[in-house]
Amino acid sequence: MNEKKMTLLEKSWILYDVANSAFILLVSTIIPIYFKNLATQNGISSSDSTAFFSYAISVSTIIVAILGPTLGSVGDTKGYKKPLFTFFLIMGVLGLASMAIPVGWIIFLALFVVAKVGCSGSMIFYDSMLTDITEEDRMDNISSHGYAWGYIGSCIPFTISLVLIMFADKIGLSATVATSIAFILNAAWWFCVTIPLLKKYKQVYYVEKQNNFVKESFGRLSKFFGELKKNKKVFFFLIAFFFYIDGVYTIISMATSYGKDVGISDNNLLFALLLTQIVAFPCAIIFGKLSKKIKSDKLISICILGYAAISIFALQLDKTWEFWFLAVCVAVFQGAIQALSRSYFAKIIPKNKSSEYFGVFDIFGKGASFIGTLLMGVSTQISGTSKAGVAVMALMIIVGYVFFKYQQNPKFNQYSQVEAVNQNSAK
């Protein structure tokens, strides 16, 4: 077991989780509250504002899901991963900063979509960098540290933003102006904390640039789906990931809106979700350390079952203490299931095609998010209650567990082992 200290490159990579988590935390806390209050001022009902916000998330995720595989394939070309990562980073940062402009609720949602596409697009290349910045036996631990430090690090700009908004009147600011300052503050944090990675990262695994590298990238993409048919372990993992991560992403994205719908106050929502970030920090690290003694697939199974129980519990949620309890339960599994899924996937794919594979990984993840938030929105509008959507999430998570257990069949390991032997030839 490799116990050496983290390298500067590994630490720089982890810092991007700290950087983008500032925005991700806003998406589940301040942004939906601000939007729902803005929508209410314009006569939009509570259930409709929840639905519109879920549709905005769905639009952003389907955009990245469509672009992901092609961009990932281009990103595997020598010298292109970092520029593409930087492009989406800037898009996300500028999108978030632009949300500070006082606009109507429709334009606000449009700017939110731009920021969300930027964040999600950057994650395709960031996640695929894992194969370049560390060794395979360290991936679970490094990935877990990324999510862990992301949770605790994002609390810094979030806490400042929260204090600014809550005490806005005492310092002579309106809530709207205070929130606008918070958006700019978090955008600046996102960019500045990413600088070490931009300076240190170099692409290690790649395919050589061809004369017509865009055409070549499309050619590699078409071959990818042929490979996927043979690599059943990756194929069935992606299906499992689609179903179980659906519930995870939807719960993260819609927790605040759901909490408001069942009568939880704004302050309780924000402080409970801040507690989630704090509790998630040690839990993610603990799961990372456990991966040295327990196989990551077993830990992922535990996390999936944990989320299934959380979804079922949320069906009867109507008290403030229950929301706080639910926030702590989510914190236990949230970082672990994302971190271990990321590193597990990185270990079963060809390293020189990591961006291509993570582009498709993003399709299944963001596609799940699209379906999840869409089902949440539709079921909420049809039934008039958010609990119908939560019931669907619980079912999706259980289906994901079944597929995940199936992909662990030893007969699916053979093709992946052959690929692991061959992948270094393209380095």
In a domain, 210, yes or no: no
The DSSP line for 45-86 is -HHHHHHHHHHHHHHHHHHHHHHHHHHHHHHTBTT-HHHHHH
* pLDDT at residue 92 tops 90: yes
CATH, residue 417? 1.20.1250.20
In a domain, 283, yes or no: yes
What is the rounded CA–CA span in Å between residue 117 and residue 237? 24
In a domain, 126, yes or no: yes
* DSSP category for residue 319: S
In a domain, 211, yes or no: no
How many distinct structural domains can be found in the chain?
1
What is the rounded CA–CA span in Å between residue 137 and residue 130? 12
Alpha-helix runs per DSSP H in 167-295: 175-200, 213-230, 232-261, 266-290
Alpha-helix runs per DSSP H in 348-384: 354-383
- How many alpha carbons lie under 13 Å from residue 426 in its C-beta half-sphere? 19
Q: What is the pLDDT of residue 213?
A: 55
Which domain range does residue 147 map to? Answer: 10-205+224-421
What is the rounded CA–CA span in Å between residue 275 and residue 202? 36
Which of the four pLDDT bands, split at 50, 70 and 90, describes residue 421?
Answer: very low
In a domain, 426, yes or no: no
For residues 126-142, average pLDDT: 90
Q: What is the pLDDT of residue 366?
A: 65
In a domain, 5, yes or no: no
Q: What is the pLDDT of residue 196?
A: 96
pLDDT one-digit tens code per residue, 7-25: 999 999 999 999 999 998 8
pTM above 0.75, yes or no: yes
pLDDT one-digit tens code per residue, 160-200: 998 999 899 898 998 889 999 999 999 999 999 999 999 99
Q: What is the pLDDT of residue 422?
A: 46
Which of the four pLDDT bands, split at 50, 70 and 90, describes residue 216?
Answer: low
pLDDT one-digit tens code per residue, 307-345: 888 888 877 776 777 778 887 888 888 888 888 998 999
Which of the four pLDDT bands, split at 50, 70 and 90, describes residue 419?
Answer: very low
Lowest mean pLDDT among 75-79, 267-271, 323-327, 405-409: 267-271
Q: Which of 92-101, 343-352, 365-374 has the highest mean pLDDT?
A: 92-101
In a domain, 153, yes or no: yes
In a domain, 4, yes or no: no
Q: Please give the distance of CA 101 from its chain centroid, rounded to a whole number.
A: 26
Residue with tokens 């996390």: 303
- Dmax (CA) for the chain in angstroms is 66
Distances (CA, A) of 352 to 53, 81, 142, 220, 228: 37, 12, 19, 12, 15
Residue 207 DSSP SS3: strand
Residue 2 DSSP SS3: coil
Written as six digits, the tokens of 191 are 């960019």
